[in-house]
Structure 1
Amino acid sequence: MLAAGAGAGLALGGCGLFDDDPAPPPPPDPLLPLRDAALALAGTYDRAVAAQPALQARLAPIAAAHRAHAAELDRILDPPAPAPSASAAASAAPDAVGAPTVAELRAAERQAHKDAAAACRAAPADRAALVGSVAAARACHAEALR
């Protein structure tokens, strides 16, 4: 009887019931880079406006659109994405040093459009509409910067 109890204990010990190792964290959501890119683009526009305030009326709405996209992506990310770190927010803060030109913004939007279109093709159906609208908006932003 004692041997049977010891055998059962060994069997339970190997099944993970008594393992103290925590479960691995879930992988990041595949749309997290799209959200991060939207926030980075908004910060890039902020830097451009800080360097050239005359562009405020032209660029601020595009920056706001990128922030709106990031907020909507945050709403559907699984697991929810952490808020950008303070250092990331500081690096996105407006300053005139290294401010992009309108041509550089347009190039960034074109690349961001390609990235969003690729994400749309890979997205499940329940996410494709949102990701597709982000891709379409980025194409429109590039055209607005002509």
Structure 2
Amino acid sequence: MLERYDATLAAHPALAGRLAPLRAAVAAHVTALDPDQPRRTPSATPSATGAPAAAGAPKASGTPQASGAPAEAVPAKPEEAVTALAEAERDLAETRTVALAEAPGELARLLASVAACGAVHHHLLTSTPGAAQ
């Protein structure tokens, strides 16, 4: 997911104000789920493509992992790129929610938290910024 945000920001820098806070949360999730993984900063060179929807998931047994499916290119239109991120957030939140059934206690609590955050990201990405609710 972090790679998807980086690729989207590289392709559409004008979206930085909207996406930067969400990307920061995803980076924190990566660190929480895999504290041994080196930290990536927004200044890291992003790939030209996004990661599979399950990327950034924990590696513990019974938890979601990258499917090995080919990465998707960032859509050319900014609004389509945001939609693609929203769908990836929703899919990853659903994957993490399903993984709760097999996860041990502390990991299950963490997965529940990051799944809920992913659902909020989906909502924020599909809502109109600045619109009254």
Tell me the TM-score range normalised by the shorter chain: 0.5 to 0.7
Deviations 1:28-78 (A, max 9, x none): xxxxxxxxxxxxx11111111111111101111111111111111123xxx
Per-residue CA distance 1:79-132 (angstroms, 9 max, x = gap): xx6669xxxxx9x82448932411111111111011010112221122221111
Instruction: Give aligned pairs, total.
Output: 95
- Higher-helix-fraction structure: 1
Larger gyration radius, structure 1 or structure 2: 1
- The equivalent of 1:66 in structure 2 is 26
Counterpart pick for 2:46 among 90, 93, 107: 93
Once residues 93 and 123 of structure 1 are traced to their aligned partners in structure 2, the CA distance between those partners, rounded to angstroms, is: 31
Work out whether 1:125 is the aligned partner of 2:105: yes
1:78 corresponding residue in structure 2: none
Identity of aligned residues (%): 38
* Unaligned residue ranges in structure 2 (runs of 5+): 51-72, 76-80, 127-133
Amino acid at match of 2:74: A
Q: For 1:142 and 1:122, how far apart are their aligned partners in 2? A: 24
For 1:57, the equivalent position in structure 2 comes to 17
CA RMSD across the alignment: 2.6
Could you tell me the TM-score, scaled by structure 1's length? 0.57
One-letter amino acid of the structure 1 residue matched with residue 91 of structure 2: Q
Question: In structure 1, what is the Cα distance between the partners aligned to 2:102 and 2:25?
Answer: 23
Structure 1 stretches of 4+ moved >3 Å: 81-84, 94-97
Equivalent residue number for residue 27 of structure 1: none
Tell me the residue number matched to 1:87: none
